[in-house]
Chain A
Amino acid sequence: MTTRRKFLATATSLASGALAAPAIMSRAALGQALRKVRIGSAFTTTTNAAYLMPKYLKPEGIDLEIVSFPSLVQRMQAVASGDVDAGNGGLSATMQIDVKGFPMSVLANGCDGGWMLVASPSITSFADLKGKKIGVQNGSIGLVSLLWKLKHEGLDGAVDLAFMDNQDQPIPLMRGDLAAICCFEPYATLAELQGWGKKLWVPYDTPMGKTNLGFVASSAFVKKDPALTRSLVQAHVKATNEMASDPAIAIKTTIDQFKMTPEVAAASTKNLFFSAESGKAFQDGLKALAAMMIDAKLLDRAPDWSRFIDISFLA
């Protein structure tokens, strides 16, 4: 998700993050107080478990810094440049750079779901969308699910896709420039609660299901420091479980970070499924996602699953 305006606001953090020295500082000498570690994240509702991680790592002597990027795509670009090796990652983007020759490892699930199709009140079924415009973020998981759904509704090529950032989609829906938006939270719920549209499709009935966000790292990083990888993954799992158990945390973060009203925050959080559950369901979802992306020409080929998925650190 490209959050372009936030780019301006976080330009300084980007500069310090992307241009600075390697993320993992040289190992602290034995006995020294805290070891500084940086992980990457992105400005989305699905990644907020990251902010709960530091407290789980402090007892292990790790001082965790979270570098937040305006979008998951930019987050992955930073991985490829070697700046922030581990952290939250959009699974679609992770697969893309892995397949392009930069080996990545998916270490755990992070958050499922988080998007939906909100349509103008006059639209009551998918058939009504024929010949109309749908807003969607280019290259996103939302797009992948939407393309699959359109094909299965017999609307392949019969709908005009308007590519725009998530935060820009509600207004055109209100104006009538768009008949529907395939939008990520909290903007999807915002549009709905403002009365600009109604939920038309909960997009999790595609083969990829709710697959969205994971905890990932470059394979090189994992190989170099498995101990640290384990610490990070374990902390991620704890943080994710904490998020899942207490919606209030996510609601509060959505209010603080996205400046949403409590009502919108609460409703949108219901569409987020924080989970570190990385078993068969998750892995099947990943494989289905790859297949759907290849079909949509967003991915050259599937990753080497045996190497790509590495859930050994969950144990």
Chain B
Amino acid sequence: MRVPAFRVFGLLPLLLLLAAWQIAVVAGVYPTVLLPAPAAVIAAFAQNWPDILANAGASVTRVIVGVGIAFCVAVPAGMLIGRYRALDRVTDWSIQIFRSVPPIALIPLAILFFGIGDRPAIILIFLAALWPLLINTIFGVRGIDRTMLKVARAARAGEWLIFVDIILPAAMPSVFTGLRLAIGGGWLTVVTAEMIAVKSGLGYMILTAQLTFQSQLIIAGIIVIGAIGLLADQGTRLLRARVCRWQEGLIAQAE
């Protein structure tokens, strides 16, 4: 899937922002200790790129682990809850309650239950990723065409076969929607999660830069975070297009 030419227009707002930023710096609107010049940020990249790369890798690793665990929990659970009404009735309120809690509020509890360092950080990312995956999987299962399930039932197919051959593939597009949101949410949480005594990561790098007033590093970190977020999103889209190729016929130009 090539990036269509018109998508490059997506760079336009960013270029405008860059221009506004440079103008603000030249005009001296804000103290440079808080808003450095674009050139200073570029210099920070040049000076610190090994560190930035290492930190990016650490954060990405945590998100992959957290989202990965969330996927392994949410998809099976979502399929079961989506399929069996009774399960849905039992879990619905709990899901709605817990999904509304922002991870930052859970930090003290995370420390109490899971200690400090990578473990609570990954748990927080896991939680941020869990809800969109779970809810979208349930949604995907619920939306399965009734006739397909009737075909399976009339053919006396066993539950396992129905899950593997029908429910899982049918729900896949929704699962991917959930995955996109989960990766977004997990990535958003990584800065918060890295407040708990970790020694690496973009969040850690940004927090430390805040404390030492190295604003060019803060901005460098923000840029990297944004770029990775974009890459992750595009990557998920590509993956979905591949796995759910069969959808092409059903939906005219799926998003």
Which A residues are closer than 8 A to B by beta carbons? 2, 4-5, 8, 73, 76-77, 80-82, 93, 96-97, 100-102, 133, 135, 138-140, 161-165, 167-168, 171-172, 175, 177-178, 298
Contact = CB atoms under 8 A, between A and B. Distances in A.
B49 interface: no
Nearest to A98: B33
Contact of B195 (A77, A93, A165): A165
A139 B212 contact: yes
B116 A97 contact: no
| Chain B contact patch, size range | 20 to 34
B104 A100 contact: no
**Chain B contact residues, majority secondary structure:** loop
Contacts of A76: 213
Interface string B115-131: 11100000000000000
Interface in B100-119: 104-105, 107-108, 111-112, 115-117
A168 B112 CA distance: 9
A314 B52 CA distance: 46
Interface string B24-58: 00000011111000000000000000000000000
A99 to B, nearest CB: 9
Contacts of B211: 2, 73, 138-140
B61 interface: no
B31 A8 contact: no
Contacts, number: 80
B207 interface: yes
B33 to A, nearest CB: 4
Interface string B75-111: 0000000000000000000000000000011011001
B213 A81 contact: no
B210 A172 contact: no
Nearest to A218: B31
Contacts of B107: 4-5, 168
Contact of A168 (B34, B104, B108, B208): B108
A255 B222 CA distance: 39
Nearest to B192: A4
